[in-house]
Amino acid sequence: MLIAQSQTSGDPDAMIYAYTQALAFDDFEPVDIYLNIARLERQRNNNARAEQAYRSALEEDAKRRDAKEGLALLLIDMKRHDEAETLLLDVVTTDMARLEQSSEQAGECVTDANSPWRSYNGLGLLADILEQGQQARKHYQCALNIQPGMAMLHTNLGFSYYLEGEYPQAERALLRAVNQEPDYERAWSNLGLLYYRWGRSSEALAALRKIMTQAEALNDLGYIALMEGEYESAASLFQRAIDASPRYYPRAVENLNQAKSMQAISKR
């Protein structure tokens, strides 16, 4: 009853309190309770408490795949990459044993509908962080074998290609993402970034316009140019953003001033 009331309120503090109280009763599965607590703590950016909840879940059931994956993805965010990799590889190895696949065959990525796509995706993220792009894309492809229609996975694959400068492959993957989920903001944002770096500025603007106003899109493109050291282009884009905004746009004004300042410094 207390859990239902807290869920209705939508208050994370009340929900965490309710789940904590539920641990005292035998009517609830403690692993599920701890996982719900971990999810709420992550939403509140309380990573230490989220980690504690995930570990409590694993103390209750060391074989729970969702607990291992949740903890591993949290550890990636906390930049504890070795610990995360150990957990994810454990999940994948267990699944390979279920499918009677030997470690020598691991590169073949034998999966079925019940295989751990989250773990393969997490291993892809880790490989990209370590600048191991080819390995990352193998992991993403394994995840896509399991969940071929998931926009997030196509987006991660596309961004991995982008990081390696393989723009045509990146474009194909990102277009698959937006075809699967037309409102997926990260895919459109990555397409905008890709097209701008590819020298296709009008297409970059069109991609960003799918998820934001004209002024916001121009400001974002200006920021990309600023990070690239293209100060004159950045200043022009920020000015266009200011002109396109129906009201005062302080962020674009601040960015314009920064671009002009950096442009002046670069000419000294």
- pLDDT tens-place string over residues 180-213: 999 999 999 999 999 999 999 999 999 999 999 9
Is residue 231 a part of any domain in this protein?
A: yes
Q: Which of 14, 18, 24 has the alpha carbon at shortest distance from 2?
A: 18
Q: Are 219 and 207 in a shared domain?
A: no
H helices present in the chain, as ranges? 2-9, 12-22, 30-43, 47-60, 65-77, 81-98, 117-129, 133-146, 151-163, 167-180, 185-197, 201-208, 214-227, 231-244, 250-266
In a domain, 85, yes or no: no
Q: Is residue 117 part of a domain?
A: no
CATH of the domain at 248: 1.25.40
- 18 lies in some domain: no
Residue 32, domain member (yes or no): no
Domain that holds residue 180: 167-211
The Cα 266–Cα 226 span in angstroms is 12
* Domain identity same for 231 and 249: yes
Residue 246 lies in a domain: yes
Q: What is the mean pLDDT of the chain?
A: 90
Residue 184 lies in a domain: yes
Do 226 and 256 fall within a single domain? Answer: yes
pLDDT class for 1, splitting at 50, 70, 90? very low
Q: Please give the tally of structural domains in the chain.
A: 2
199 and 240 share a domain? no
Structure confidence by residue, pLDDT tens digits, 31-85: 999 999 999 999 989 999 999 999 999 999 999 999 999 999 999 999 999 999 9
Q: Is there a single domain that holds both residue 206 and residue 226?
A: no
Residue 106 belongs to some domain of the structure: no
Tokens of 231: 């100060």
